[in-house]
Amino acid sequence: MAKYFAVAALLAALVAPAASLPAGLGIHYDGDVDAPLLKLDYATYRGKYDNVSDVFIFKNIRFAAPPVGNLRWAKPASPRPIAEIQDGSDGRQCVQAGQARAAGPPAGEDCLFLDVTVPGRVLREKGLKLPVVNWVYGGAYIVGSKEGANAAAMIRASKGNLIWVAGNYRLGAYGFLTGTTVEKTATPNAGFWDQRAVLQWIQQYIGLLSGDPGAVTTIGISAGAGSILHHLVLEGGTLDPLFTRAILQSPGYNNWLDRAGQLEANYQRFESLAGCTGQGLACLRNLSEPALLNASIAANAGQRPGSFAFGPAPDGKFIVSSPTLEIAAGRYWKGLSGLISSHVVDEGGSFSDPAIATDAAFDALLNSTYPGTGLAGLRAGVQRLYPAVGADAARAAALGYKDARGRLGREISEMSFTCHNRVAADGYPGKTWSVQYSVPPGTHGADQTGTFFDVLGPRGQGLSEGEKRERVGFQGLLVSFMRGGDPNAYRDGEVSVEWPRTTGFNATTLGNVLEVHSLEGKKGMRIIEDGWVIKERCAFWTDAQRDVMATLKTG
């Protein structure tokens, strides 16, 4: 890289520090122009140049103190000062629930790190103020890490006009322990506080790297998108989420509501598995890392496929109620300038328990999920909305299933994923663009091959030109939105369709929805009405949550 510009030019283009920070912070050099230093007010991090993508990567920047000991189940604390220059090698992903883990570095409790990827022009040009993207990984709130996105490919797609930030957040019991005991003596939904700490870091420091803290787009898939929806309802929608635009891909979350019942029972079970029965959070905070990990593994063992021991839940203050109910009640942040919300055509199939092989098994699961006479109407509604194949084969076929497992998959799709797209769109009429991703197999996560497509990577090899164009075109729409808040403004020339804002909020189907339906380049996208997000069916699930809440209050 050094041959392309002189050291003197680099030094003249040092990024000015943010006004609220001490002078002298920002980019510095100590001899190697391919390895600049990012000086913060608490530590200095050495970057690394990727000459293929023309980006600089600053890895494993601490944005909070290690959440161990007394900082378990606490809000992230400020990172401690570090005197030695950090080379980015010290980093871990957060402890994964169970024994599975995301690909990448080892896991551990000391995991609150973030990565920043900036285009090379940030260090070559003066006066830049680039939009920022914050990526929130998915993984059912139990697995995942910041390494899961291809930041370099996205920056290349933007022609060097984006800065990318991805941070870890605590998972499973470490990040989403809730219930009344936790509410009294700790911080519920600690994982959301970690995500917010990354956004606060962006607000404070991204100006050192020519980033614009007033133009932050946050993007997430599955649990990452569900997390973003939760940030829009923080403290009843009164707390600024610290981003201006959002991209929600298959937003997923369970609608757990019973703080004093199921959530507290989950906490008590975890306390018992850890050998801390009756001793509370003080005992859990004093456990060794291996002992706490063993309790986490035990808590997640034996969970029915598609269900998890811990996840986001109302805590009465930070998360007052589910995003579904909060947005329906108007208690959400209204200040977003734009939103993209998307789903695939088979969201629930991957989470459908193969043991539910008969309609009797479906009914038994339904009775255990919504027990008691107070929820009899809700159970009857589910039976009506998702008829057994033997009772109404024609309607079942129209809904896309042919057996009991498919029946459960359709219920999961609408309850936990697709209707969240309707919730998000209803909250931001006139500001929303909607996507239906139908490219086979159309299963949960299938759209990620287009989102993070890298023509230079291994998945880009061997594809036809049409397949490449489809992926590049879809990716370009998302990148255009990240750059300027409009997916059409900088879209790839291969995309012939103009993508209008969503309509039909009071109709049965949402209109002006972009369907990505094939891998045929210009022919692979069209504007449709979305028959997978039906107003009446989604209204049923919103009403169902209200019914559950009413039962909890009276039962």
Angle at 457 between CA 454 and CA 460, to 5 degrees: 70
Q: What is the pLDDT of residue 262?
A: 85
Q: What is the pLDDT of residue 336?
A: 98
Domain count, the chain: 2
Q: What is the pLDDT of residue 553?
A: 64
Q: What is the pLDDT of residue 314?
A: 92
Residue 526, classed as helix, strand or coil, is strand
What span, in angstroms and rounded, lies between the C-alpha atoms of 539 and 165? 36
Are 549 and 406 part of one and the same domain?
yes
| Residues with a known catalytic role | 222
Are 316 and 349 part of one and the same domain?
no
The alpha-helical segments, DSSP class H, found in 274-358 are: 280-286, 289-300, 323-328
Q: What is the pLDDT of residue 302?
A: 74
What span, in angstroms and rounded, lies between the C-alpha atoms of 250 and 139? 12
- Residue 505, token pair as written in the block: 């909020």
Are 479 and 497 part of one and the same domain?
yes
What span, in angstroms and rounded, lies between the C-alpha atoms of 331 and 515? 30
Q: What is the pLDDT of residue 4?
A: 34
Are 416 and 506 part of one and the same domain?
yes
Residue 220: which H helix or E strand, with range?
Answer: strand 211-221
DSSP assignment string, 532-543? TS-HHHHHHHHH
DSSP assignment string, 386-440? S--TTT-HHHHHHTT-SSHHHHHHHHHHIIIIIHHHHHHHHHSTTSEEEEEE-ST
Instruction: Rounding to the nearest 10 degrees, give the CA dihedral for residues 376, 381, 387, 391.
Output: 60
**Structural domain for 61, as ranges:** 2-336
CATH number for 323: 3.40.50.1820
Are 320 and 379 part of one and the same domain?
no
* Angstrom distances, CA of residue 398 to CA of 29, 105, 387, 392, 413: 63, 45, 11, 10, 15
Are 253 and 378 part of one and the same domain?
no
- The β-bridge relationship of strands 163-167 and 113-119 is antiparallel
- Within 144-194, strands assigned E span 163-167
Tell me how long the chain is. Answer: 555
What span, in angstroms and rounded, lies between the C-alpha atoms of 447 and 462? 19
Q: What is the pLDDT of residue 11?
A: 33
From 284, 301, 336, give the residue that closes a domain: 336
From 305, 336, 367, give the residue that closes a domain: 336
Chunked mean pLDDT (size 10), the chain, 555 residues: 35 42 90 94 97 97 98 98 96 81 80 98 94 97 94 96 98 95 96 98 98 98 98 98 98 82 91 96 96 92 80 94 96 98 96 94 92 90 95 94 96 96 96 95 92 83 77 91 96 82 96 87 85 95 89 64
Are 37 and 111 part of one and the same domain?
yes
From 296, 312, 336, give the residue that closes a domain: 336
Are 129 and 41 part of one and the same domain?
yes
Q: What is the pLDDT of residue 13?
A: 36
Q: What is the pLDDT of residue 5?
A: 36
Q: What is the pLDDT of residue 520?
A: 64
Are 349 and 332 part of one and the same domain?
no
Indicate the pTM of the whole model: 0.94
- The β-bridge relationship of strands 510-516 and 44-46 is unpaired
Q: What is the pLDDT of residue 7?
A: 33
Are 469 and 550 part of one and the same domain?
yes
Are 349 and 260 part of one and the same domain?
no
Spatial neighbors of 32 by CB under 8 A, at least 6 apart, are none
Quickly tell me which residue has 């990727």 as its tokens. 50
Q: What is the pLDDT of residue 372?
A: 85
Are 285 and 355 part of one and the same domain?
no
Q: What is the pLDDT of residue 514?
A: 96
